Amino acid sequence: MSQLTQQDWLKLQDSLTFEGRAWINGSYCDAENQHTLPCINPANKQTLTDIADCSENDVNRAVSGARAAFNQGDWACISPSQRRVVLEKLADLMAEHAQELALLESLDMGKTAADALAFDIPEAIRCFRFYAGAIETINDEVLPTAENVLATVTREPLGVVAAVVPWNFPLMITSWKIAPALATGNSVIVKPAEQSSLTAIRLAALAAEAGLPDGVLQIVPGQGKVAGQTLGLHPDVDCLTFTGSTLTGKRFMEYSARSNLKRVWLECGGKSPQIIFDDYENLERAAATAAAAIFINQGEVCIAASRLYVQDSIYDRFLPLLLAEAKKYQPGNPLNPDNLAGAIVDQLQFDRIIAGVEEAIAGGAKELTPVLRSERQEGWFLNPTILECSDNSNLIMQEELFGPVLGLCRFTTEAEVIALANDSDYGLGAGLWTNNLGRAHRVSRKLQAGMIWVNSYADGAITVPFGGRKQSGFGRDKSIHALEKYTDLKSTWIDLKE
C-alpha cells in the first residue's frame, strides 16, 4: 500500500464519520440505557466521538440474537464453500477501505497511521483470506471398526463464541479471533476494548455488506467489568477467546467455572527475553531489531522483547549501537509518516508506565536514556527508555509495563542466561542471536516460551501459531490450529447389522 503524507491523512480525517453505536442483530443501535464512553484521540486528548457503553441487557440481547442465528442455520449449516465466498468478499471490502480502517486505528489508540496501513490492516485482511480458504481443508474421519459398524468423527461449530479483544492491535487481533470462528460456522460476539472500538464497529457493517446473515456477528462495546463480565458468565456463550492481561484472563477462567464451563482460550501478558550471544557477528542488525522489538507501537505489544540480555564480552560494543537505534523511536504525531512511534493509548496507561519506571529506578535500575516523559504536552507521549539492571528481580525485568521501556542486563555463560530468561511468570516469546547452529537448537529447546525466534524477532505469518506458555496463557491464534478452538469433535457409531 502506498505511503500517505500527513496532509493526506488529515484530508481523509475530515471526510470520516465516526460510528460509535453497538451492532446487534444486524443494525447499529445505542446502548439500552443511552450510556456512552468518550473515544479520545491519544495524540491530542480530544474526543472523537462517543462509544456505546453496553449494559448487561444489551449483551443478553446480543447473545440471544447470536444463538437464534446459529440455530436458524443460515450460516452454521451452509457449505464451507458458501462461507468462503462471504469471507473473501469481506476481505475485499476491508482492502477497499484500508486507508479508512488504518486512520481509525491511529486516531483511536495512538499508533502511527503508516504502521496501521502497512501492517495491521493487511494482516487482518490476510487473516480472513486464509481462513476463507482453510475451511475447505477440514476433513471428517471414518475410523477402522468391524465390517458391520460405521464409526465417524465429525468436527462441528461450538455455537456462540465471545471474543474479548485488546486495544493495542484492535482490528488485527479481532480478525485473529473472529475469522476462524466464523469460518467454522459459529456466531460471534465481539467486546472490543473501550479505548479502541472504532474498527470493530466499522467491520460489522462491512461484514453485513459482504453477506453475513444478521445475528452472526455482534459488536458490544463497553466496559470490561460490565460487558466483558456478562459474556464471561453467560450460560449461553459456548466459548470465550481473550487477549489481554493475565489478571483479566484469570477472571475469565473463574467466570467459566461459575457458569457453564464454557471453553476459554487465553493469550495473556508477556515479558519476553532476547539474548545476544558473543558469537553473533552483525551487532548492528541485532541492535536495530532489539530496538524495534520493544519500541514499535510505543511498546504496547504483548510479544515485545522488553528484557534484553547481552553477553559481557560484547556489551560495551553493543550498547552504543542500541542507544543510537532507540533514538529513532522518538514519539510524534501519529499521522506524520516520518514518525516511528505515536502516543500512549490513554492517561491510565501513561501513568502506569511512568510509575513502573520510577519504581524500577528506585530499586536500582540505571537510566541510560533521557527522561521518559516527552516534551510534547498535547498528547500522551513517552520517549523510548532503556534501564540497565544488574538484578533480575528488579521490576523492569519481571513486570510487563506495556510501554516503550527496555530492561537491559549483562550475562556471562549460556547456562546463566537461560536461567535468567526463564526466571519469569510469563512464557509468550523469546529470541536469541547466535551464529552457532548447535547453540541455536540447544537454547531454543530450553527457553520456556511458546514462540522462539533465532536471529530475528516477532517475524511470523498467518500460517504459524501465535501463543505462549505459563501465565502468558494457552490459546493459539493464527494457523490451521486455531480452527480447533472453535469446533468440537462428535463421534457417531452406526450399527449396520440387519
Residue 4: φ, ψ to 5°: -110, 145
Q: Give yes or no for a contact between 58 and 22, defined as CB atoms under 8 angstroms apart.
A: yes
Out of 105, 123, 194, 267, the active site residue is: 267
Please give the DSSP secondary-structure letter assigned to residue 342.
-
Q: Which of 274, 339, 359 is nearest to 309 (CA)?
A: 274
Amino acid at 24: I
Out of 54, 268, 302, 389, the active site residue is: 302
Q: Which of 32, 11, 8, 12 is nearest to 22 (CA)?
A: 32
Q: Give yes or no for a contact between 163 and 214, defined as CB atoms under 8 angstroms apart.
A: no
Q: Which of 295, 242, 246, 291 is nearest to 111 (CA)?
A: 295
Question: CA-CA distance, 230 to 53, in Å (whole number)?
Answer: 13
Question: CA-CA distance, 96 to 94, in Å (whole number)?
Answer: 5
Q: Give yes or no for a contact between 308 and 283, defined as CB atoms under 8 angstroms apart.
A: no
C-alpha cell at 355: 510509575
Q: Which residues of 43-59 are buried (b: 16+ CB within 10 A; e: fewer)?
A: beeeebbebbbbbbebb
Q: Give yes or no for a contact between 383 and 331, defined as CB atoms under 8 angstroms apart.
A: yes
C-alpha cell at 466: 501465535
**CA 329, chain centre distance (Å):** 21
Question: CA-CA distance, 187 to 193, in Å (whole number)?
Answer: 20
C-alpha cell at 16: 470520516
Helix, strand, coil proportions of the chain in percent (round to 5)? 40, 20, 35
Asked about 302 being catalytic, the answer comes back as: yes
C-alpha cell at 308: 534484553
Question: CA-CA distance, 493 to 333, in Å (whole number)?
Answer: 63
Q: Which of 245, 258, 252 is nearest to 228 (CA)?
A: 252
Residues ≥6 apart with Cβ < 8 Å to 144: none
Q: What is the DSSP string of 300-322?
A: --TT---EEEEEHHHHHHHHHHH
Asked about 267 being catalytic, the answer comes back as: yes
Query: For residue 399, what are the CA distances in angstroms to 240, 242, 307, 381, 425?
Result: 26, 20, 10, 21, 9
Strand, helix or coil for residue 461: coil
* Active site residue ranges: 267, 302
